């Protein structure tokens, strides 16, 4: 259908990104577990299952993507997501959530690194690789714009139950996969096809540890991003804990997604930002986390929307840095190695937050994570980025 319409590569890319991200459940994913009877620690365990599966398959998926077709690896990722929606549609107990989390973890690992490498190589094939950061920024904006619209829709759909919310996400995921299938994959070079798995892995790991700048980026990915992402897993429960209802939370998540999209849409305009300056930004964010956790009121906690928007803008900026400094045949592998390191730290962060929240309160768990992030960014300032 899309071949007959003769849509350009970028048009198809933008369309599939919109429908891939148009998932109303994202406004309630943590609440979905909690409203189904899961405790904070159970939510943490389900999340960690997804992370662990992602860790196991993170690097192998990057290797497969570097050796074979990146497009079909991404399609496999979409298929895992679709299957998880179907499982949760029919069953909402702990076992079903764990099985779905396994599929989600596999989906994330298949897409992580591969997607950006796929985009960069496709742009390179049409001699537009210099536009990577701009195109990726637009894709990120579309991602968060779709989440914004889906979150607003979710605030109305939730009145009819979670299955209606899930159904809309399922249809959108299927449509995204159909569009992605219609994109013509760039041919892999003979050099890449003939490379062996362990050779690619060795080259990818070597690049990470021999390049001092990439090693600093690895520090940011592994410790700072994992802390931020760990908190984000519980952000809806934090909003609920201070008194917001489901429909309010959906609107807050919509605003957060819109702000994040605007941040990523404009990040390409940043001409030069050093890694030391980025670490300073996260140091300020950590201090703000601690302050917000100590006050912990309805009005103040909304400040998290701005903090996460800034964080997501910085993530894209670092991603562009990575793509520029890595050759094509190991690009997905290197990004997968970085995501692997982030996921390892993320396991401890998510589990720790959940158990502290159950033992004490969400406020104490939030404050603890803010202090941890402050220590990490301070170490980054005094040791890594001095």
The yes-or-no verdict on residue 70 having pLDDT over 90 is no
- The span from the CA of 263 to the CA of 217, in Å, is 20
Q: Mean pLDDT of all residues in the chain? A: 81
Alpha helices in the chain (DSSP H): 2-5, 9-21, 29-35, 40-67, 70-90, 94-111, 114-125, 132-157, 162-181, 190-194, 197-210, 212-219, 226-232, 235-241, 246-266, 275-295, 298-301, 304-324, 331-359, 362-379
* CB contact set of 95 (below 8 Å; sequence gap of 6+): none
Which architecture characterizes domain 2-384 according to CATH? Up-down Bundle (1.20)
| pLDDT recorded at residue 195 | 45
- The span from the CA of 209 to the CA of 204, in Å, is 9
Q: What is the mean pLDDT of residues 66-73?
A: 76
The yes-or-no verdict on residue 58 having pLDDT over 70 is no
Q: What is the mean pLDDT of residues 233-255?
A: 89
pLDDT digits 0-9 by tens, 117-137: 788 777 877 777 777 778 877
pLDDT digits 0-9 by tens, 268-308: 677 677 778 888 888 898 899 999 999 989 888 888 888 88
CA angle (143 as vertex; 336, 320 as ends), nearest 5? 45
| pLDDT recorded at residue 336 | 65
| pLDDT recorded at residue 130 | 77
pLDDT digits 0-9 by tens, 306-358: 888 888 777 777 766 666 666 665 566 666 666 667 777 778 888 888 899 99
| Domain-wise residue ranges, the chain | 2-384
The yes-or-no verdict on residue 378 having pLDDT over 60 is yes
């Amino acid at each position: 259908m899309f071949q007959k319409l003769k849509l350009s590569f970028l048009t198809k890319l933008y369309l599939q990104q919109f429908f891939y991200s148009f998932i109303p459940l994202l406004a309630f994913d943590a609440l979905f577990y909690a409203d189904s009877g899961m405790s904070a620690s159970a939510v943490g365990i389900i999340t960690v299952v997804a992370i662990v599966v992602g860790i196991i398959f993170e690097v192998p998926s990057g290797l497969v993507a570097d050796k074979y077709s990146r497009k079909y690896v991404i399609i496999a990722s979409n298929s895992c997501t679709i299957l998880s929606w179907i499982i949760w549609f029919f069953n909402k107990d702990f076992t079903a959530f764990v099985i779905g989390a396994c599929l989600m973890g596999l989906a994330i690992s298949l897409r992580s690194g591969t997607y950006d490498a796929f985009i960069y190589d496709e742009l390179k094939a049409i001699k537009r690789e210099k536009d990577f950061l701009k195109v990726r920024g637009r894709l990120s904006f579309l991602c968060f714009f779709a989440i914004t619209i889906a979150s607003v829709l979710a605030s109305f759909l939730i009145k009819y139950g979670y299955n209606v919310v899930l159904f809309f996400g399922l249809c959108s995921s299927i449509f995204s996969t159909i569009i992605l299938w219609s994109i013509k994959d760039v041919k892999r070079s003979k050099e890449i096809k003939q490379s062996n798995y362990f050779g690619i892995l060795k080259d990818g790991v070597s690049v990470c540890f021999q390049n001092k700048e990439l090693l600093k980026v690895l520090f940011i990915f592994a410790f700072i991003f994992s802390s931020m992402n760990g908190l984000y897993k519980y952000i809806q429960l934090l909003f609920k804990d201070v008194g917001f209802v489901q429909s309010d939370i959906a609107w807050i998540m919509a605003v957060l997604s819109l702000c994040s999209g605007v941040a990523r849409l404009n990040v390409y305009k940043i001409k030069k930002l050093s890694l030391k300056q980025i670490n300073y930004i996260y140091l300020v964010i950590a201090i703000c986390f601690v302050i917000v956790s100590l006050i912990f009121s309805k009005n103040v906690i909304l400040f998290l929307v701005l903090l996460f928007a800034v964080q997501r803008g910085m993530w894209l900026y670092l991603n562009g840095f990575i793509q520029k400094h890595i050759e094509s045949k190991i690009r997905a592998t290197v990004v997968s190695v970085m995501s692997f390191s982030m996921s390892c730290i993320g396991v401890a962060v998510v589990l720790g937050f959940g158990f502290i929240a159950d033992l004490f309160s969400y406020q104490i768990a939030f404050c603890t994570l803010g202090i941890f992030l402050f220590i990490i960014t301070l170490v980054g300032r005094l040791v890594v980025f001095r």
